[in-house]
Structure 1
Amino acid sequence: NNDDDGKETTAADVAVVVLVHSATGGVGLWASEIAARRGGVVVGVVGHAHKIPVFQERILPLCPAAQCFVRSSNPQQFAKDLQDAVVRARLLHHSQQQQQQQEHQEANKEDVDLSSLCGFRYESAHDLVERGWGVDYVMESYGGPYFMPSLDLINPGGSLATFGSTTYNGRGNNNRNRIAFLPLLWKYLTRPRIDPGCLTTRNIRVGGFNLIFLTQNEKELRNALENCIQCLSSNSSHADHDDDNDDEHAKDDDDDPLARVTPPVVGHVFEFDTQAVEALQTLRSGKTVGKVVLTNPNNPLLQQQ
């Protein structure tokens, strides 16, 4: 395809791809929605197949080209699945932009040869990044052997933000409250190492944030929450909107951006006084969807409300 200036364009030229680990978790689901509402093409990774419909219900109306796949226990297979998901997302986005229904149907097939559709063979992350077919932003939470496949797939100028390392959730086999120290030590010693020189060579950025630290700084937390609300209340997305309906509610929504925000998914609720340990065990199980919430009915602030 050619643009107005005669320059050849590809699917890689018209999409900003955002990769989100733990895409149906409390952070991941909001991150996916923010990316979709800002016009990004979202590729989500989840730990179990039953989480995929949750992602699709929330994100596909905003980003029809979004992809979601289950993280393989084999890091090499994970890397391959990730590359295929990114290529599929770019192809679907491109076909939707060009209104090429036949291409869209082909790219959606599970057994299709994606290399034949994108026009070149790819066998590694390098092959995709070299052509600009990698990802542009990564929200990373797995760590361990899953970190580098995500980092390797970042396009020049892209960024990775890590917000957790669920790989290091060591659990004993016989006692759920017992930490398996030896496996945890091995994972720590074999954790991924980043050469700062490769960051400058590839022109990519790596950072991280700690949600616990954020919650202990009320001012920063409020600022971050307000920014999230502004992004989540944005109508800038791939979804089609009813103009008349938008006009009807625009005035009210402008006064209260929160009115346009889809509430976060709450998967489990526990009482702080009696179920805190059970809440932590549930969170560490990797089988949760959305947020795990601790309530404290004795909180004087809640009693005032």
Structure 2
Amino acid sequence: MAEHHDHDHSHPHPHPHPHPPPQQPGQGQPQMVQLTQEQIAQLTPQQRAQLMQMQQMRMQQQQQQQQQQQAPAPRADPVMQAIIDADFKPVSLQLGGEPTNTVVVCKPHAKETCAECKTDFAALNQLTKSLINRPELAFPPPPQVQPPPHRSAAITKTKEDGNNNFKAQKWVPAIQLYTMAANIAASRDLWENSQLMRDELALVLCNRSAAHLSNGEPEQALVDANLVVQLKAPWGKGHFRRAKALAKATATGAKQLEPASAETDALLVEIERALQKETEGTAPAGEFPMPIAPTEEPTSPISA
């Protein structure tokens, strides 16, 4: 009976059985090793089958790679390509704005906004300017990043100063402060939350509309009130300001067209009486109250 001896694997085998190297993590295909005929002869049947399988996989992958390299690019749908080409209009542009040359303008007329070329690079140039003024930003931050609070604080402080002048019936300083607050709100970076800017502008312009109306400038008050309605359509205060400004502006215009109209005079007297009672902080019973104090904050959310 033949004596069976177990091989001691702690020492090198005189004829090692080469195993196919394991596939490295992250590699898309197995790595092959070159074996000599003598090494192949030492393989077990199972190892030979594994080796042949790996060689076949390797050949299939090489064939697929060759086919992908030789395959022609898919042809575009002619109809879709025609639709895309129909909207394409080449634009001639150049860089201007010395000394930095960072302003995009149309090449024929060197204008940022050109009606003849039908081009408008204002938004692009504003974005470029914002990035140049913020060298710490390599690119615009993601939307979830909150903007620095100092701008909102400056808007609030300037608006409150305008409110104090409004309460003291200093209309011109109040208008100037509201204008300053509106400019600060409108100068937000283009990547910041546009809804925040719209709310801030609506609030400040609503107050400025009231100041213009109190200063005897119904047309300017109507312009501001119209902007408030555009920025914050669901907000009743904007419509209220527009109704007041429209009534005064329309009656004033009618008076200019027909100076001798008794009906227009009566309407103006009625409007002035209502505004005067607003100034005094009272309103007749049964009439719509018109508080003079400027709006402190929006009373209803704005829809998207």
> TM class by shorter-chain length?
under 0.3
Q: Larger relative contact order (C-alpha < 8 A, sep ≥ 6)?
A: 1
TM-score normalised by L of structure 1 = 0.18
TM-score, normalised relative to structure 2:
0.18
Mark the structure with the bigger radius of gyration: 2
Q: Which of the two has greater strand per residue?
A: 1
